[in-house]
A and B are shown apart, each in its own frame.
Chain A
């Protein structure tokens, strides 16, 4: 079954805690992206990666970190430096020649 999986569906973070959101894909896409979505706003790009072992900051990278050790995986860590982490996080993949992005089901992060 081809697709993009994000886990967990809901995640709770305590003050000062780092949490990691998982994104896995079996579409064989080179590019992967992380977006943040807040109510009433569009998607804002956090980080993106076009190839394994390479990634670039997006528009709102502060307080977040990523890694791209495998083509299939692009985990996002929300660090304690991110003071307002409550949001819906969306992972996407894409093929460079088609420029189309495909989205996972999302993870909702809540702060306790």
Chain B
């Protein structure tokens, strides 16, 4: 069964500093991988996704993520954080083989990001 871990419950960074949010997954085959962001009291917004191909994925708002099969990781990065990036970030993994039935997406517990001015 799929599972997702986000080792950091909460991270604080200074504005302008670089950011890396960690995500590790467990799944036997190549999964679909996603990063979502959630502002307080809001729904989730898709930042980026990996299905296949280039392992470095570019997303919205200046974010990127790298799929590393050998480490079962899909870490999210941003070179320079803005105060508006403060939010909750969720990594998610989906199955790839079950094309004729439901492809379940499992969400990690989330990492809360605070940004110091």
User: Which of A35-43, A61-69, A75-83 contacts its partner?
Assistant: A35-43
Interface bin, chain B: 20 to 34
* Residue in B closest to A106 when the chains form the complex, CB atoms: B43
Q: Answer yes or no: A71 CB below 8 A from chain B CBs.
A: no
* B43 adjacent to A90 (CB under 8 Å): yes
Give A35 to B102 CA distance when docked, in angstroms. 15
User: Which of B56-64, B72-80, B106-114 contacts its partner?
Assistant: B106-114
Interface residues on chain A, number (Cβ under 8 Å): 24
Give A101 to B109 CA distance when docked, in angstroms. 17
* B102 adjacent to A56 (CB under 8 Å): yes
Interface residues of B (CB under 8 A from A): 4, 9, 32, 34, 36, 41-46, 49, 51, 90, 94, 99, 102-105, 107-110
Interface residues of A (CB under 8 A from B): 4, 6, 35, 40-43, 45, 48, 50, 56, 88, 90, 92, 96, 99-106, 108
